[in-house]
Amino acid sequence: MAKARLSQEGVVFALAVALFVVFAATLNNFLTAGNLIALVRSVSILGILGLGMGLVVIGRGIDLAMVATMVVSLSWVLSMAQAGMPFDTALVYGALLALAIGLASGILIAYADIPAIFTTLAMGLVMYGSGRAFLFQIDVQNSPGGVDWFDFLGRGAFLGLPMPIVAFAVLAALVALVLMRTRFGRFVYAAGDNALAARITGLPLRPLIVAQYVISALIAFLAGVVMAAAVSGMSTRVYNSTMIYDVLLVVVLGGISLSGGRGSVRNVLVGTLLVGVLLNGMTILDITYTTQNLIKSLILLLAITVDSFINPRDEQTSQQSQGDI
């Protein structure tokens, strides 16, 4: 990019900076270390989920089952731990469950050619339903006490940063590494940009798609571990909240195009930052709940509109069998 072109990421970043400056100038105590840490901490789980979603969206998919995967696998882990199973063993089972969910979604999407948006939407419902029916009875599961590393993950700090932020940073670095430095990462971009061309070139397209959903499910599981540690429990009601849309907001707002093939971890970070600044500022300004939702959804609408202008539909790719999501 030799010319300074108006990219969505740039717009959003500028918007985040502008909001930041306005809040810093007008709100007392906004620009304190404590508030900034609280700001990032409050969106770190959203950010972790955004990393998984970002990867799938770059590969021209979408994973609406992420929140369900997170909620069900972790609630199961916690309820097994409460029933007396060693916590580490329970975690292994939880990870296997998440893996199975990702595998199932991926296989349905890659091999049965069912559109990702419907597959994952249904998968989320199926998992949540079977979780409530078979895996746990009470909708809020408490964390077991006395697991040191788990307590540290929730309440500890590294170099003054709360662990959820550290976890977000480490995962972001890992995903960035995978996307930019590995063959798998490049393949994801290629498949996302033009799946047919990628397949003709000889990429193992279907296994590639399956792998994306497995990774996003595992990231959802990790987000769940961090969340359960941070709030010392897991509430299955999170599934009924607007969280999955907030995750999409982070990704799309950051500038990862829904038509695939574009974007990087940096976009997720920028999107997370803007949502964080926005939420923090609105809470400080004490804006009412309904107005907050309105502002959030208007911004999402704006971001999607901008996205379709900056990344216009491509004649070639929009005629693929899967079409746009």
Partner 1 sequence: MKFRTILAAGLMALGLAGAAHADDGLDNPSRNPFYDGLKGKRVVFIPLAMGFDLTEGWAAIMRKQAADLGYTLEIRDPNWSTDAGTRALTALIAEKPDLIIAHNPDVQSYARLLKRAMDAGIKVIQLNLESVVPTDAYVGADWSRVGYIEADALVKQCGTGSGKSGKIAIIRGQPTAASDLYELYAYKQTFAKDPAIKIVSEQAAQYDPAKARAIMETVLQQHPDLCGVVGNWDNQDVGAGAAIQAAGKANDVYVVTSGGGNQIGCDNIQKGLLDLIISYDVPLQGNAINQQIVQTLLSPAKAGESKTSYYTPLTLLTKDNIGPRTCWSLDQLK
d(C-alpha 247, C-alpha 137), whole Å: 27
* Stretch 266-285 residues interacting with partner 1 (CB under 8 A): 279-280, 283-284
Beta carbon nearer to partner 1, 101 or 238: 238
Is the distance from CB of 256 to CB of 56 less than 8 angstroms? no
Beta carbon nearer to partner 1, 283 or 316: 283
Beta carbon nearer to partner 1, 163 or 191: 163
Instruction: For residue 139, state whether it binds partner 1 (rule: CB under 8 A).
Output: yes
Residue in the block written with tokens 């930019």: 180
Residue in the block written with tokens 């069912």: 114
* Stretch 153-182 residues interacting with partner 1 (CB under 8 A): 155
Q: Which of 10, 19, 24, 42 binds partner 1 (CB under 8 A)?
A: 42
* Stretch 208-227 residues interacting with partner 1 (CB under 8 A): 227
Is the distance from CB of 76 to CB of 237 less than 8 angstroms? no
Q: Least CB distance from residue 140 to partner 1, whole Å? A: 7
Beta carbon nearer to partner 1, 7 or 235: 235
Instruction: For residue 138, state whether it binds partner 1 (rule: CB under 8 A).
Output: yes
Beta carbon nearer to partner 1, 1 or 33: 33
Tell me the per-residue interface mask from 2 to 41 with partner 1, x by CB under 8 A, - otherwise.
-------------------------xxx--x-xx--xx-x
- Give the strand pairing for 157-158 and 233-235: unpaired
Q: Which of 24, 147, 196, 231 binds partner 1 (CB under 8 A)?
A: 231
d(C-alpha 272, C-alpha 46), whole Å: 7
Considering only 64-72, 186-194, 234-242, 296-304, which stretch makes contact with partner 1 by CB under 8 A?
234-242
DSSP H or E segment with residue 278: helix 265-284
Q: Least CB distance from residue 301 to partner 1, whole Å? A: 22
* Residues in contact with partner 1 by the rule CB under 8 A: 27-29, 32, 34-35, 38-39, 41-42, 132, 137-140, 142, 155, 227, 230-233, 235-238, 240-241, 279-280, 283-284, 286, 288-290
